[in-house]
Amino acid sequence: MRSPHAPVVVICDDVGGGPVPLRLGELVALLRRELSGAALLVLPEICETPEVLVDALAATEPRRVVVGCRRASQRRGELLAGLRRAGAAAACIDVIDLQPTVGCTEQVALEQSVALVSAGLARVVHTDIEAPVKERTSLSVGGVSRRSFLRGPNKARRFIAVWRSERCTGCTAGVAWTACELACPHGALRREAGRVVVDGDRCNGCGACVSACSRGAFAFPGAEVEGLGAAAAVLVAAIRRGGFATGVAIACQHSNSVPSVGELCLALRVPSLEMVTAGWLLQLVGAAVGVLVVACEDEDCKQRADDLGHFLDDFARALEYSNGVAASESTRRPGSDGTVRGVMSGPDELLGQRSVPAMSALGQTQIELREPQATMQALGALAALDPNRTGWRVEGAGCSLGVVSIEPGSCSLCEVCVGVCHTGALRAEPDMNGSLRLSVDFGLCTACGACGASCPEAAITLERAVDGALVTAGRRAVATLPAVACEICGAPLAGRASPAVLRRRPGDSHPVLTTGTNSTCADCRLGGHSVKATHPRG
């Protein structure tokens, strides 16, 4: 008897019909062998009658469920709603379309179907079943995103991102901007009293906040980074041992051009390409499989596809691959709905297909999608960080790392940038001489922009770039202030705004603070009086 908490895989018996019928008995046998620990059910006509699915599962109330059928793309919303009525967790369900494309052979359809169902199960198994879920059942009149509008009003529940306060480690307090706010392309995040508030009218569920937060403080069904990484690893392993496909297509779930069973690429669905980073693509390239990105008709999603495509082209050129990848231009083919369909390069039209060294360090369970680890791990496996390789640099909106520059004459070492840096790229610490040193590890910088946006002195500039010399150099000092003690109280002055810096900010400066020498701290210059009590405007 199966465990009540075991995941369930449901196959609709309609996969045994159609122009390219799957051999249902063989499919079930292969799935039983591949999916040990999961319960496997075959149910009739669940696409036509979703109630069959609800009735079959309601008695057991499974929390993690994967459904495979031929009409998933047309009935996805109904099937997902039915699974939730049966007790499945919203973040732990997946519906896989097993409709083969015209001309696909029965054997290829069988092998790809097994790979896709296995990947779907890996995703739901590696997803936090306790992740909170919020949703809207109707569209508001204000702040409706274009993607939400195109879906049509009141057709289905609409998920919105959820901030998980217990996972946020405090970069939301006392700073002007945070990485998650800056990452949201729709202005749906704001802070109130140290908390992040999600505007449900503006949030379109793109998942960008999930990717941007290195601490996993955001939840959204379908955007779970760990689950998507596990699914990608299963697809990569299947491609490398089977030969029935050549790449993975990272596809927006709203696109009408997602590859079907029997095409060259196996689909990995995401809420939007806005959450996809260059590191995801490099992980696949480094695993010696092709990579395709498939956008929906939303302009932001298409723009992200373009940005990622340019990054892959520029990366291949910068590392001087001589197999034709570097010399070719990206091809962005329109899908049937007029959307951008993918980024393809090289003689096989799939960047990475026998084009770059295999990522031998990555096993089936090790596709890393969190930044900056995703990009740095892939660069190492692709020999991009080899010290013998000549210097290279790739810039542009598609880059997943950043290059921080600080103007020493403007920096007061107030450490605001350190507090807002969620990856630990920026650090302030005393050096051997007692001076306070601000340093940056370029291999940890995800170009979130929070440091520059929060700097009170406007001393920080940021470029989206991956620089081979910088990411291999380790931590570098970018600003240093000599150790100075207050001549009155003896308190260290390093890390406090100097009078010279304060005088450059006349709108915020206090005359007592900006008068005196650099050897007296602000507390002593105030003489024990608060700024509010002595400020001429207070």
Identify whether residues 504 and 524 lie together within a single domain: yes
Identify whether residues 297 and 435 lie together within a single domain: no
- Give the model's confidence band at 477: pLDDT under 50 very low, under 70 low, under 90 confident, else very high: confident
Residue type, 422: H
- Give the model's confidence band at 267: pLDDT under 50 very low, under 70 low, under 90 confident, else very high: very high
Question: Last residue of a domain, which of 219, 248, 277?
Answer: 219
Domain assignment present for residue 395? The answer is no
Higher pLDDT, 174 or 106: 106
> In sequence order, what are the residues at sequence separation of 6 or more whose Cβ sits closer than 8 angstroms to the Cβ of residue 516?
499, 525
Domain extent, residue 505, equals: 484-538
Mean pLDDT in residue range 406-417: 82
Question: Last residue of a domain, which of 363, 390, 417?
Answer: 390
Distance in angstroms (rounded) separating the CA atoms of residues 174 and 293: 38
The reported pLDDT for the residue numbered 503 is: 52
The reported pLDDT for the residue numbered 492 is: 61
Question: Residue 210 half-sphere exposure, CB side, CA atoms within 13 Å?
Answer: 27
Domain assignment present for residue 369? The answer is yes
Identify whether residues 511 and 386 lie together within a single domain: no
Domain assignment present for residue 212? The answer is yes
Cβ atoms of 280 and 250 closer than 8 Å: yes
Mean pLDDT in residue range 312-321: 83
Identify whether residues 251 and 345 lie together within a single domain: yes
- Give the model's confidence band at 493: pLDDT under 50 very low, under 70 low, under 90 confident, else very high: low
Tokens 């908390």 belong to 195
Is pLDDT above 70 for 494?
Answer: no
Domains identified in the chain, total number: 5
Distance in angstroms (rounded) separating the CA atoms of residues 176 and 269: 34
Question: Taking Cα atoms as reference points, which of 260, 265, 292, 288 lies closest to residue 276?
Answer: 292
Rounded to the nearest integer, the mean pLDDT of the chain is 78
In 3-state terms, the chain is what percent helix, strand and coil (to 5)?
Answer: 30, 20, 50
Residue 178's domain is classified under what CATH number?
Answer: 3.30.70.20
Question: Taking Cα atoms as reference points, which of 297, 289, 259, 293 lies closest to residue 275?
Answer: 293
The reported pLDDT for the residue numbered 114 is: 95
> In sequence order, what are the residues at sequence separation of 6 or more whose Cβ sits closer than 8 angstroms to the Cβ of residue 140?
200, 201
| Token couple for 304 | 């992200």
Q: Taking each helix axis as running N to C, give the angle between helix 225-242 and helix 278-286, from 0 to 180 degrees, rounded to the nearest 10.
A: 30
Identify whether residues 188 and 247 lie together within a single domain: no
The reported pLDDT for the residue numbered 368 is: 93
- Structure confidence by residue, pLDDT tens digits, 97-121: 998 988 889 999 999 999 999 999 9
- Give the model's confidence band at 326: pLDDT under 50 very low, under 70 low, under 90 confident, else very high: very low
DSSP alpha helix (H) spans, 258-366: 278-286, 299-318
**DSSP state letters, 404-436:** EEE-TTT-----HHHHH-SSS-EEEEE-TTS-E
The reported pLDDT for the residue numbered 66 is: 94
Residue type, 181: E
Residue 437's domain is classified under what CATH number?
Answer: 3.30.70.3270
- Give the model's confidence band at 4: pLDDT under 50 very low, under 70 low, under 90 confident, else very high: low
Is pLDDT above 60 for 537?
Answer: no
Tokens 């040990």 belong to 36
Identify whether residues 450 and 463 lie together within a single domain: yes
- Structure confidence by residue, pLDDT tens digits, 148-167: 444 443 345 688 999 998 88
Q: How far is CA 476 from CA 194, 427, 471, in A?
A: 31, 10, 10
- Structure confidence by residue, pLDDT tens digits, 178-209: 888 889 999 999 888 778 899 998 998 999 99
User: Which DSSP helix (H) or strand (E) runs through 74?
Assistant: helix 72-85
Is pLDDT above 80 for 486?
Answer: no
